[in-house]
Amino acid sequence: MRTYRKQVFAVLLAGVIALGAIGCTGTAAKPEENAAPIQATAQPTEAPQAEASTQAPTAEESKEEASNEPASQATDTPKAEEPEPHSDILVVYFSRTGEQYQVGVIEKGNTAIVAEMIAKKTGADLFEILPVDDHYPMTYNELTDVAKREQNDNARPAYAGEVPGLSQYSTIFIGAPVWWGDWPMICYTFFETNADALSGKTLIPFSTHAGSGLSGFDRKLSNALPNSTVQKGLAIAGADCQNNADRVQKSVGDWLNGLGF
Ligand SMILES: Cc1cc2nc3c(=O)[nH]c(=O)nc-3n(C[C@H](O)[C@H](O)[C@H](O)COP(=O)(O)O)c2cc1C
């Protein structure tokens, strides 16, 4: 009987020790598990985008950096400051995929193609202006209706994210498709939202189009941002972006050389 009691006591004691050990491990593990998301949300504003190819220390890269953060660093004090831009040159652009004039349904927007060429040649960071709520239709005729309505309403459609460290760039290329002879209204949202950060910077506009050329992008940019210096812009035929990459490369290269890049 005494032996039986001893055995019961020994089993209970072992149970208590085992439970204690599990309890300790559980408490120790929790902060690390929770730390990663806390760290991630503490990152400076980043461009969402997802398909957001795009990028300054690009949105994608910022995201990648956040998600690749080793768990062991997660307990470090969260960084509040903005990440360092990779370059002092930035390319900001707006562009659409889907059905586009003269080129059918496209996987990469015409302006996106030019933006990437400029970034590659100048070593610039990229940021794509993406609508928060992507209300733009993928069929050309419907898209032109929506764009016309926005222009008539002088709308300022919201875009997602912001450029990390925008004020640290010295030169900013800004490109978009010509929409009804003007910048798409979402670009004006970008200009006005960032007027302070863009003040004193050199801005270089570029367009893609179906015949209207630069459509006064430079003058309109200057009017929207009178405290910035606007340089000579470039207009590229949208269809060439899809069908004649060599010609576009040459135009972009010559233009950049002329600007001293
Ligand atoms: C809503 C809308 C309006 C357009 N308005 C013009 C225009 O006024 N002049 C012009 O030359 N092209 C116009 N286009 C053609 C686009 O500028 C051209 O296809 C451009 O390369 C599209 O670029 P993306 O693929 O980067 O969006 C328009 C296209 C759309 C969708």
Q: Is the pTM of this model over 0.85?
A: no
Q: From ligand 1's centre to the CA of 5, what distance in Å?
A: 88
Q: What is the DSSP string of the chain?
A: -HHHHHHHHHHHHHHHHHHHHHHHHHHHHHHHHHHHHHHHHHSPP----SS---BTT-HHHHHHHHHH--GGGGGSPPP-SPPPPSSSEEEEE----EEETTTEEESS-HHHHHHHHHHHHHT-EEEE--BSS----SSHHHHHHHHHHHHHTT----BS---TTGGG-SEEEEEEE-BTTB--HHHHHHHHHTHHHHTT-EEEEEEEESS-TTTTHHHHHHHH-TTSEE---EEEEHHHHHH-HHHHHHHHHHHHHHTT-
Nearest CA to ligand 1 atom 29: 179
Which residues form ligand 1's pocket by a CB distance below 6 Å?
95-96, 100-101, 109-112, 140, 143-144, 147, 177-181, 208-212, 238
Ligand 1, atom 1: nearest CA belongs to which residue? 144
Average pLDDT over residues 234-247: 97
pLDDT for the residue numbered 116: 98
- Domain borders along the chain are 89-259
Class of CATH domain 89-259: alpha beta
Mutate to test the pocket of ligand 1, among 179, 185, 234 (most ligand atoms within 8 A of CB): 179
Q: Ligand 1 center to residue 238 CA distance, Å?
A: 8
Could you tell me the distance, in angstroms and rounded to a whole number, from the CA of residue 191 to the centre of ligand 1? 20
> What tens digit of pLDDT does each residue of 209-237 get?
999 999 999 999 999 999 999 999 999 99
Spacing, Cα 95 to ligand 1 middle (Å): 9
Give the Å distance between the CA of 257 and the centre of ligand 1.
Answer: 26
Q: pLDDT at position 76, please?
A: 56
Residue with the nearest Cα to atom 16 of ligand 1?
209
Q: What is the pLDDT of residues 29-73, one digit of tens each?
A: 232 223 332 222 223 333 323 333 345 544 444 434 434 444 434
